[in-house]
Amino acid sequence: MIPVPTPQIASDESPWKEECGVSGVFCLDGAAAAPLVHVALYALQHRGQESAGIAAEAAGHMTLHRGMGLVAQVFDQERIARLPGHVAVGHVRYATMGSVSLENAGPCVTPSRWGPVAISHNGNLINAPALRRQLEGEGVSFAGTTDTEVIAHLIAREPVGDVEDAIAACMHRVEGAYTVAACAAGRLYAFRDAHGIRPLMIGRGPSFWTVASETCAFDHTGAEAVCEVEPGQLVTLDAAGMRTRQVLPLRRRAHCVFEFIYFARPDTVLRQRNVHQARRRMGRVLAREHPVAADIVIAMPDSGTSAAMGYAEGAGLPFEVGLIKNRYIGRTFIQPDQASRDFGVRLKLNPNVEVIAGRRLVVVDDSIVRGTTSARIIRLLRSAGAREVHLRISSPPIRHACFYGIDTSSRGELIASRLEVEAIRRFIGAETLGYLSQDGLVEAVGLERDTLCMACLDGRYPTRIPTEAEAGRTALDTFVPAPAGARQ
Annotated catalytic residues are 20
What residues form DSSP beta bridges with 349?
325
Q: Within 10 Å of residue 352's Cβ, how many Cβ atoms?
A: 14
In the three-class reduction of DSSP (H, G, I as helix; E, B as strand; rest coil), residue 4 is classed as coil
Write the secondary structure of 7-47 as one string of H (helix), E (strand) and C (coil). Answer: CCCCCCCCCCCCCEEEEEEEECCCCCCHHHHHHHHHHCHHH
Contact 14, 372 (CB under 8 A): no
Residue 484 DSSP one-character state? T
Q: Detail the DSSP E strand segments found in 231-288.
A: 233-238, 241-246, 255-256, 269-270, 273-274
Residue 260 DSSP one-character state? I
Indicate the length of the chain as a whole number.
488
- The set of residues, in sequence order, having a beta carbon less than 8 Å from that of 276 and lying 6+ positions away, is 266, 267, 306
The terminus-to-terminus CA distance of the chain in angstroms comes to: 41
Q: How far is CA 145 from CA 54, 98, 104, in A?
A: 19, 5, 6
What is the CA angle 182-187-190, rounded to 5? 40
Distance CA 225, CA 215 (A): 6
Considering only CA atoms, which of 475, 397, 383, 391 is closest in space to residue 436? 397
Element (H, E) at 389: strand 388-393
Residue type, 191: F
